[in-house]
Chains A and B, each alone.
Chain A
Amino acid sequence: QSALTQPPSVSGSPGQSVTISCTGTSSDIGNYNRVSWYQQPPGTAPKLMIYEVSSRPSGVPDRFSGSKSGNTASLTISGLQAEDEADYFCVSYTSSDTYVFGTGTKVTVL
């Protein structure tokens, strides 16, 4: 199972919006609405930000939103803040009844 493909880095100024893509195949993202997103600041454990493509857990700001089209899922951070600077990973359930992570994207706030 190959890792899902994410851009290595994205950046934006405070207040701007950034979108991170996550591209898979018809065996994972394309066939299931079971995509989740995680935020990982340096040296810390990951934190769930989005599950089931677009649902937010309690406590996650509504600046974070998720979507999916075909084999590609996306995470959008609106109104970018300094505290959003971190690595972000997508995950999808797969047809093999396993999970697969994305390659990770570093978000930099300029």
Chain B
Amino acid sequence: EEQMVESGGGLVQPGGSLRLSCAASGFSFSGYWIHWVRQAPGKGLVWVSRINGDGSPHFVDSVRGRFTISRDDAKNMVHLQMSSLRDEDTAVYYCARDRKYGLEVWGQGTTVTVSS
């Protein structure tokens, strides 16, 4: 079964940092684009970041310069390093695998709460 599993969420103070991880299984990971999408409580989905198969990163304007994304194809994992966190970064963060510009396989999400 093709699967994505997020981890690393938690409670962090404003200005703090957190590293999210996304573990993929059940498919040949190398080459796939992997996305991070977030959903604030009671709100809609927001695209956050993408890493291409060659490792090139892309970000939404609101996190560029604060978040970085990386991948480890040997371990079938993608990491989202989040710094200078703000209240508005509070959300469930999903990772998802891209296929033909559709986010085809999603994880169940990990919750990030930014609060003092």
Contacts and interface: CB of A to CB of B under 8 A. Distances in A.
Interface of A: 1, 3, 34, 36, 38, 40, 45-48, 50-52, 55, 57, 87, 89, 91, 93, 97-104
B15 to A, nearest CB: 25
Contact of B101 (A36, A46, A57, A104): A36
Q: Chain B: interface secondary structure?
A: strand
B81 interface: no
Contact of B45 (A34, A46, A50, A93): A46
Given A3-B44, A98-B50, A104-B45, A47 B106 contact: yes
Contacts of B101: 34, 36, 51-52, 93
Contacts of A46: 37, 45, 94, 96, 103, 106
Interface of B: 35, 37, 44-47, 50, 58-61, 94, 96, 99-104, 106-109
A40 B102 contact: no
A99 to B, nearest CB: 4
A103 B44 contact: yes
A51 B45 contact: no
A46 B106 CA distance: 7
A1 B61 contact: yes
Contacts of A98: 47, 50, 58-60
24 contacts: A1-B61, A36-B101, A38-B45, A40-B45, A45-B107, A45-B109, A46-B45, A46-B103, A51-B100, A51-B101, A51-B102, A51-B104, A55-B100, A57-B104, A89-B45, A91-B47, A98-B50, A98-B60, A99-B47, A101-B37, A101-B45, A102-B44, A103-B44, A104-B44
A24 to B, nearest CB: 13
Contacts of B46: 3, 101
Contacts of B108: 45
B104 A100 contact: no
Contact of A101 (B47, B102, B106, B109): B47
A45 B99 contact: no
Given A45-B94, A46-B103, A51-B100, 7 more contacts: A47-B106, A50-B102, A57-B102, A89-B44, A91-B102, A98-B50, A98-B59
